[in-house]
Amino acid sequence: MNITRRNLTVGGLSLLASSSLCSPLRADWDGPVVKAIEGTEEFWLASDAYVFGYPLVTMEMTRRVITNAAKVEGTHGPMGQIIKLREYPSAAFRDVTAPNADTLYTSAFIDVGKEPWVLSIPDMKDRYFLFPMLDGWTTIFQVPGKRTTGTAAQTYAITGPGWQGTLPAGVKEYKAPTSIVWILGRIYCTGTPEDYAVVHALQDECKLAPLSSYGKSYTPPSGTVDPSIDMKTAVREQVNRMSATEYFTLLAKLMKDNPPAAADAPELAKFARIGLVAGQDFDASRFDPAFEKRVPQVSFDRIMLQFKVGKPIKNINGFAYDTVTGIYGTDYLNRALVTAIGLGANRIEDAVYPTSQKDADGRDYEGKNKYVMQFAKGELPPAEGFWSLTMYNAEYFFVENPINRYSISARQNLKANPDGSVDLYIQNESPGKDKESNWLPAPAGKFVLMLRMYWPREKPPSIIDATWKIPPVKKVS
């Protein structure tokens, strides 16, 4: 397929960007994608390969940063050790885009390529929690939690792709498709000192050990710190600034221990033409060096374009949300989009993340303005777990503010209006002491809003089938 500008009509732009990676899709777009439209078939094939591998490369770079530590400290900890965040991430947190300020992360990276790892979760005493397990391609292959397995104590052995053996009594097997596994546990917490203490105790009862040490006294070994790993630059930026050759070399290496799914075979067969073959080193001699910079740039634009044209994306009153997260099949662009803006996103049954970049009038959010989001009486977000509205800067990270509030939810004891409706005040400066319970602080510049709904209600009114609709965010004088 030779893509040229003759395939395009300015004003009703048609370009190569679709969930199948190869068939054309119409969209309005004036960004850098257009600059590469003269590319050859090999160029777009390389772009397809880039999009395909974006989750695995990002997952590996995230693993390197998070596990580059001698011991568990803060948001970092060695492979095979549980990282227990004791408070909500601060505005300085940069390890993962779009973090939340509603749960305490209880997470670990493990390598199940050599032997299984056993995870023990204590009795959560009816508290909302979930411990999704992501493979190297960001697919959630299992998700124990209140919705799926209840809150009683439970123990799981996470086994690798080729593992065969016998497990101890009372231990259930969860087979991972890849060697890399990220256990990204979340335990709900109100954020008060008293509730922090309760959740800390639950975190301390979570146990993780290799199968060979299960049931025995086990002390995890110290980790090794690699000084060459960039611990300051956000992972997404580190991935995006790689040259195409660097990117594909790493991708090929990672696919040896983290095989693509069987359904990926048709797409993978095409990539051999540019030197990318699963299970083999990348053959750079078959790759055009003229693509080194353009392929990453254009491919990332294609990924982000899915906010506008992706099939799983719903847009309601300025909020866009992905209806297919956690399990992606062969929708590689959607998988890459979720990786780019919300690595670790849950399955749709566990969480929905409507995101808004513009107000009800289609204008960018700016801190110099004041906005109100009004929920009618009895129409706060319907969620069996919890809901919250989170504030991010334009790069999807938390924003410093005078009251250290990154999200707003029912736990702020929101004040209702006389008619029973609830207004949320979204602005840079305080709306006044009498309204601060309903205030979500904004930065001085541009920002992004994300409405989290954990365990969204399945029966109407529900966001899943759009029988409940998100109210618009309106600019006020």
CATH number of 68-213: 2.60.40.1610
User: What is the predicted pLDDT for the residue at 77?
Assistant: 98
Q: In what order do the strands lie in the sheet with 422-427?
A: 439-441, 422-427, 370-375, 473-476
Angle CA(288)–CA(291)–CA(296) in degrees, nearest 5?
Answer: 140
Task: Convert the pLDDT of each residue in 179-216 to its tens digit.
Answer: 999 999 999 999 899 999 999 999 999 999 999 999 99
| Residue 436, pLDDT score | 97
CATH fit for domain 354-476, picks 3.40.50.300, 1.10.150.530, 2.60.120.1600, 3.40.50.1980: 2.60.120.1600
Q: Residue 39: what pLDDT? A: 62
Chain position carrying tokens 């904004």: 442
Q: What residues contact residue 453 under an 8 Å CB cut-off, 6+ apart?
A: 351, 352, 353, 354, 381, 382, 383, 385, 387, 463
Give the pLDDT of residue 289.
Answer: 94
DSSP for 396-433, please give it: S-----TT---EE-GGG-PPBPTTS-EEEEEESS---G
Cα-Cα-Cα-Cα torsion 350, 355, 359, 363, nearest 10 degrees, comes to: -170
| pLDDT given for residue 308 in this prediction | 81
Instruction: Name the stretches of the chain with pLDDT < 70.
Output: 1-39, 95
| Environment class of 401 (CB within 10 Å of its CB; exposed 0-12, middle 13-18, buried 19+) | middle
CA distance 145 to 124: 9
- Asked whether this chain's domains 68-213 and 354-476 adopt the same fold, the reply is no
Task: Give every CB contact of residue 425 below 8 A, 6+ residues apart in sequence.
Answer: 370, 371, 372, 431, 435, 438, 439, 440
Domain ranges of the chain: 5-61+237-312, 68-213, 354-476
> Tokens representing 472?
């618009």
- Looking at residue 97, its pLDDT comes to 74
pTM here?
A: 0.86
Percent of the chain topping pLDDT 90: 83
Q: What is the pLDDT of residue 147?
A: 98
Task: Give the other-Cβ count within 10 Å of 297's Cβ.
Answer: 17
- Beta-bridge partners for 135: 181
